[in-house]
Amino acid sequence: MNNQANWRCKVLMRFGLAIVIVLALSEAHATSQESWIDEIAPLWKWMPLLLKGFLVDVGISIAAMLIGTAFGAIIGVGQTLFKGIIRIFCLGLTQFFRNAPWLVLLFFCILLIPHQITVFDWVIPFPPWMKGIIGLALPVMGNVSEVVRGGLISIPSAQWEAADALALNKWQTLRIVILPQALKRMLPPWMNVYAVLIMATPLVSIVGVEDSVTVARSVLSAEGNTALLMPVYGLLLILFYAYCAPIARLARFLEVRYAVK
């Protein structure tokens, strides 16, 4: 039954994507007296630049995911293994950054982080792309923290008790016993967080990063042809779909494989 539902979902997604592409091309054709080939011909000229902008989005998403995962894992462990003020502090960070709008966090980073910081004789620059990475890493940190917390508490308490019986301390138990089991359960939701992140990455265009959306606007401005509007953004849609769909599919596969029986 689940396989049939998944098959129907895939068919609907592909059918919807096909409709979007057809409508985009139809709109481009309807807004110009030129032939369809003549309308999209300039798109091929700008293809390398658009792909370069898309790779900027991918690079920013990977960097933000790595930073967010590192700090999120620490905060997630802090929620689970500690008590008192440390646990409350980690819980507060998690809930705040999980529920804060991503766009607002980006604005705060662009406004609060200076263009450069001078430490003694060293000048550390903060270009827009770095601010964008930090702005996206903050909500990722909150979501990954909750993923880590959920993965750790999903391990039966008997595992902790058995490790205690073997005279393992808290950190040895976490490293040797709990984490190897919890990582399998954390992987699918962690991949889902990344899929959401890559779809939100074009938001960095508002802080001056030359990503795919910024490049698309520059292409449309340079061509001055409104007929290219839908084909250009349709191409970006296809690129993001082609990148995100395999990740989402792999996450669903791992979720089924590592599901708690």
pLDDT digits (tens, 9 = 90+) for 138-151: 999 999 999 999 88
Q: DSSP code of 128?
A: H
Residue 147 · residue 72 · CB < 8 Å: yes
Q: Enter the CATH code of domain 45-257.
A: 1.10.3720.10
Q: pLDDT band at 64, cuts 50/70/90? A: very high
Strand, helix or coil at 117?
strand
- Report whether pLDDT(43) > 50: yes
Predicted pLDDT at 157: 80
Half-sphere exposure of 144 (CA within 13 A, CB side): 25
For 119-178, write each residue's pLDDT tens digit. Answer: 777 887 888 888 889 999 999 999 999 999 988 888 888 887 787 777 777 788 888 888
Contacts of 16 (CB under 8 A, 6+ apart): none
Question: What's the gap between Cα 42 and its chain centre?
Answer: 31
Residue 117 · residue 124 · CB < 8 Å: yes
Neighbours of 151 (CB within 10 A): 22
Predicted pLDDT at 23: 56
Mean pLDDT of the chain: 81
As a whole-number percent, the residues of the chain with pLDDT over 70 amount to: 82
Give the best-scoring range by mean pLDDT among 10-14, 78-82, 90-94, 114-118.
90-94
Strand, helix or coil at 248?
helix
**24 vs 229 pLDDT, higher one:** 229
Token digits for 103? 């766009």
C-alpha triplet 140, 144, 148: angle, nearest 5° = 170
